Amino acid sequence: MSATILIVEDEYAVARGIQYALQQEGYDVGVARSGEEGLEIATREAPDLVVLDVRLPGIDGFEVLRRIRAASGKMPILVLTARDDEVDKVIGLELGADDYLTKPFSLRELLSRIKALLRRSYGDLSDAAGGRVLRHRDLVIDLERRRVQRGDRRISLTPTEFEILRHLASRPGRVYTRSELLELLRDYEALDQDEKTINVHVSHLREKIEDDPATPAFVLTVRGVGYAFAER
């Protein structure tokens, strides 16, 4: 069964070009021309991935993103920005986007990023093939089902947050620099983010898994270097 992708883009030529390229790759593609329509389709049909333009008529892409995540939408979301504006990128990541791409972009790069996000979100992981489960105190990370739980509470993570946690928790005490985490998340050079975005994702991760994000017990900061998962 092919992955379903929703494109939320008001520019007809851009939307049609993306749709055609994705269909040629075998994806099942839908298009929404406004924020309201995109939100309605994303909520009703729960596509496997959303390509979301920031500048939309009606409610903008940021608001669509916020509402999807508020409704516990877990699908990966790739945000399209009209300019190389760090503010737009940070806002998108703060609201739960998994990646961003600045217009104009090549369809080849877009396809590469979409494939990477789908692999990270739904693809088979080499270390999950045996159904491994990582446990640290009451934190349980199911690598095969990509589920995270603390005690009886299920924790909803974005694909990027899960990947960061997976890498860190797989090697407790091992310090990863931000650049190393970026390379691990690039998934065959699919992501083009800077080190500041790692800080944003880690901040979100801590808010979800830590009792007190200001004094984390799991994901630790190694000042001047990067991050490490607490040793047992």
- pLDDT for 89 beyond 50: yes
Percentage of residues of the chain with pLDDT beyond 70: 90
pTM: 0.60
C-alpha distances (whole Å) from 99 to each of 52, 57, 114, 145, 211 are: 10, 22, 9, 22, 27
CA–CA–CA angle 45, 117, 162 (5° rounding) = 95
The predicted-structure confidence for 74-83, as pLDDT tens digits, reads as follows 789 999 987 6
Q: How confident is the model at residue 196 (pLDDT cuts 50, 70, 90)?
A: confident
Domain boundaries, the chain: 4-122, 126-229
Give the angle 64-41-4 at the CA atoms, nearest 5°. Answer: 105
- Taking the C-alpha atoms of residue 229 and residue 232, their distance in angstroms, rounded to an integer, is 9
What tens digit of pLDDT does each residue of 152-181 get? 899 999 988 999 999 999 889 999 999 889
Q: Assess contact for 47 and 6: CB atoms under 8 A.
A: yes
Among the four given CATH numbers 1.10.10.10, 3.40.980.10, 3.30.450.30, 3.20.20.70, the one describing domain 126-229? 1.10.10.10
pLDDT at 57: 87
Alpha-carbon distances, residue 7 vs 73, 92, 103, 184 (angstroms): 16, 16, 15, 27
Distances (CA, A) of 55 to 51, 59, 93, 193: 12, 9, 16, 20
How is domain 4-122 classified at the architecture level of CATH?
3-Layer(aba) Sandwich (3.40)
For 144, which DSSP code?
T
